[in-house]
């Protein structure tokens, strides 16, 4: 009888988190800069993308993926390209789970020198 325990699990297990992303179905231009974008325009776009990430249920998986594969472009898990480069330089692996499939986002934020941002509940109108 074959020993299937040593075989890799279904590939869908590795990517299932993407179905739950708050960015799913949104225009990817919100998360990836057009050629030549700089300054306040880029800062505004990144801030808007990060606002989507703050309340995303799979932010920890998204950030871990981007760091593990060294994703060169876009906002992933609430971190811009330059922020991920800084995290790669100072180290992030100690804040990841054993398989590097999830990271402690709050501690990554602190490592970047900024307070952890939590989702702000929407205000209801009276």
The yes-or-no verdict on residue 7 having pLDDT over 60 is no
Give the pLDDT score at 26: 95
Chain segment 78-99, per-residue pLDDT in tens = 999 999 999 999 999 999 999 8
The yes-or-no verdict on residue 4 having pLDDT over 90 is no
- DSSP of 11-69, one letter per residue? THHHHGGGGG-TTTTS-GGGTSPPTT--HHHHHHHHHHHHHHHHT-TTHHHHHHHHHHT
Query: What percent of the chain clears pLDDT 70, i.e. is strictly above it?
Result: 81
> Across residues 19-35, what is the average pLDDT?
94
């Amino acid at each position: 009888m074959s020993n299937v325990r040593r075989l890799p699990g279904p590939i869908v297990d590795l990517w299932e988190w993407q179905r739950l992303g708050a960015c799913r179905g949104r225009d990817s231009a919100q998360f990836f800069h057009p050629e030549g974008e700089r300054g306040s325009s880029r800062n505004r776009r990144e801030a808007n993308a990060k606002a989507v990430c703050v309340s995303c249920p799979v932010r920890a998986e998204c950030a871990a993926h981007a760091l593990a594969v060294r994703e060169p472009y876009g906002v992933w898990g609430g971190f811009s390209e330059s922020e991920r480069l800084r995290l790669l330089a100072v180290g992030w692996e100690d804040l990841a789970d054993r398989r590097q499939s999830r990271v402690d986002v709050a501690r990554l934020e602190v490592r970047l020198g900024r307070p952890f941002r939590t989702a702000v509940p929407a205000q209801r109108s009276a």
